[in-house]
Chains A and B, each alone.
Chain A
Amino acid sequence: MQKTYKKYFAIFALPTLIAFIIAFLAPFVIGIVLSFCNFTTIVDAQFTGLDNYIKIFQTDEFINAFIFTVKFTIVSVVTINVLAFALAYALTRGIKGTNLFRTVFFMPNLIGGIVLGYIWQILINGVLAKFGVTITADATYGFWGLVILMNWQMIGYMMIIYIAGIQNISNDVMEAAKIDGAGKWQTLWKITIPMVMPSITICLFLTLTNSFKLFDQNLALTAGAPGKATEMLGLNIYSTFYGRVGWEGAGQAKAVIFFLVVAAIALTQLYLTRRKEVEN
């Protein structure tokens, strides 16, 4: 059977493979090569060794974007997961209107980053207008604006995953805990949380990578203002590529570092939380 299947490569695998090479594989390889080159279009690339990598650390701009991104990611990941888990826990207690609540909490997730960014810009500016400032007056406003926006968008998504996890816990385990006289908090810490570890793994993965890679919301909410104080890595790379002539190589070098950091974070996190998962 394998042999027969093999002959059908051109029909089954080739279309995806061609698209994959054009949109991902070739750009990825070219991207790595270009990060060691000086170029404005691809064809005029000249090898310059590590110049690009040295160049991006000569100013604080990239480091600042990096620090801002890390801070934002930590705060967002913690708040989103705690709140989403709390909501999921509340919505699996059998209270009235569970479905309606779930529908409402999930909805913001479907709205795209650009639209979300402007919706929140208007809301936050409306509140700040009472104090005579706007969101771009201070980086602190932009930071918390982004955190609130991200919470609003991601809580519902993570809540759905946590609900599925909590519902997966078998009744027997819960019954046994009850018979053994475990209290509510004990059950939560000793049974529910360890049992939903697979959900925690996936939620941490999604919130970590999405927060770290955030672009659209950042562009729409503050566009990095004031100055570049609320610019995250994604936006910083974008403006290096398209906002500064002669910095294309530096932009590509930043992108390579960005990729390496995202990959390292994702793999480390998956490794660490997978170890904590227990058999259900």
Chain B
Amino acid sequence: MSKKTKSNDAAMAMDSGMEISKKTSTILSVVLAILAVLFLIPILLVLMNSFKGKLYISDAPFTFPTAKTFAGIGNFIEGVTKTGFLSAFGYSLFITVASVAAIVLFTSMTAWWITRVKGKFTNALYYLFVFAMIVPFQMVMFPMVKIANMLYLDNPVGIVLIYLGFGAGLSVFMFCGFVKSIPVSLEEAAMIDGCNPIQIFFQIIWPILKPTAITVAILNAMWVWNDYLLPYLVLGTEYKTIPIAVQYLQGGYGSIDMGAMMAVLVLAVIPIIVFYMSCQKYIIKGVAAGAVKG
């Protein structure tokens, strides 16, 4: 791995056309290493405290667990049962996967359609989607929740429709930016060969759209997985997602159980780290690509 990293680093330096002396490079490495440790400390601190008895956490949060303060996995058991963490994980996973799938499929189809069919209506639609990107959630929050209740969308399946609608702005915008760069001649040839628009979209356009689809999927997954207010208001506490479960632990009466809190925070971070480690390449690329188009 080190070999690969090295060549990457060298390539990066060449890209920017600036190489620095060995001494500066060493100093820089040390400074960055210290910073990296500082970046990790908050997470490591929570991890360390999750193994301490709840009474010892606020007293001495910066000490390692000792024989006296070590609580084993007691906090984890308590945290999981108090918040219903396993079902929260299930709801979070289902809502995220279903919403992201719906967003990627439907907004790519819509983006292609409004780019190809030129006219006042599609133009107006495009600007409406762009406009939706800058409207803060609080603006539509109250009426949206009422409408969701009236239409029986206040459950893990119904909320997918809400996410599709509220996430459509950014996703349609990003897909449109890419569709514009695809030459129409490809589609004309396919049409002469007797393809209908559905075949054209899924057999010709979809494979070309894939990189953008991955970017859109990652940006939306990050949003939906971590979203708190929208699912809390739409679903209530009947179907708790992970952020709702964490907040629920705090919101209860009396003092918070710090041990359970630590354990739940650790459990909430683990899936994110696993996801990050397994698709890091796509995530970082997706973020950079998403920014260029935004």
Contacts and interface: CB of A to CB of B under 8 A. Distances in A.
Check if A and B associate: yes
Contact of B136 (A9, A27, A192, A262): A262
B76 interface: no
A164 B128 CA distance: 30
B67 interface: no
A12 interface: yes
Given A16-B164, A27-B143, A107 B109 contact: no
Given A24-B166, A152-B39, A103 B280 contact: yes
Interface stretch (A46-54, A56-64, A233-241): A233-241
B229 A215 contact: yes
Contacts of A90: 28, 31-32
A105 B143 contact: no
Nearest to A259: B139
Interface in B96-154: 106-107, 109-110, 112-114, 116-118, 125, 128-129, 132, 134-144, 146-148, 151, 153
Contact of A17 (B40, B110, B163, B261): B110
For chain B, give the interface size range: 35 or more
Interface string A222-253: 00000000000010011001000000100110
A68 to B, nearest CB: 16
B140 A164 contact: no
Contact of B16 (A101, A103, A169, A203): A169
Contacts of B139: 28, 31, 255-256, 258-259
Interface stretch (B82-90, B209-217, B264-272): B264-272
Given A12-B109, A16-B164, A96-B6, A171 B269 contact: no
Contacts of B14: 94, 171
Interface string A145-186: 000000010000100110110110101011101100000100
A120 interface: yes
Nearest to B227: A112
Nearest to A110: B272
Given A94-B12, A164-B292, A187-B18, A258 B144 contact: no
A192 B287 CA distance: 21
B208 interface: no
A114 B247 contact: yes
B161 A23 contact: yes
B176 interface: no
A161 B118 CA distance: 33
Nearest to B61: A126
Contact of A99 (B8, B222, B250, B262): B8
A24 B135 contact: yes
B287 A12 contact: no
Contacts of B178: none
Interface stretch (A71-79, A135-143, A205-213, A271-279): A205-213
Nearest to B29: A95
B91 interface: no
A184 to B, nearest CB: 8
A258 B139 CA distance: 8
B225 A112 contact: yes
A252 B143 CA distance: 9
A23 B201 CA distance: 26
A8 B195 CA distance: 13
Given A94-B13, A167-B12, A24 B169 contact: yes
Contacts of B261: 118, 122
A174 B117 contact: no
A107 to B, nearest CB: 6
A122 B49 contact: yes
A144 interface: no
Contacts of B284: 102, 106, 160
B112 A12 contact: yes
Interface string A1-43: 1101110110111011111111111111011001000000110
A95 B9 contact: yes
A120 B9 CA distance: 33
Contacts of A120: 42
A92 to B, nearest CB: 4
A90 B36 CA distance: 13
A82 interface: no
B182 interface: no
A92 B13 contact: yes
Contact of B110 (A12, A93, A160): A12
A23 B99 CA distance: 13
Interface string A108-125: 111111110011101101
Contact of A115 (B113, B243, B276): B243
A193 interface: no
A140 to B, nearest CB: 21
Q: Considering the complex of A and B, which 6 residue pairs feature the smallest CB-CB distances, nearest first?
A: A94-B13, A174-B17, A112-B226, A23-B165, A19-B165, A126-B61
28 contacts: A13-B110, A16-B107, A16-B172, A26-B143, A31-B142, A93-B28, A94-B14, A95-B28, A95-B29, A97-B9, A97-B32, A99-B5, A101-B33, A105-B36, A114-B243, A115-B243, A118-B250, A122-B45, A152-B42, A160-B288, A171-B17, A173-B17, A177-B17, A202-B294, A213-B137, A248-B142, A259-B135, A259-B139
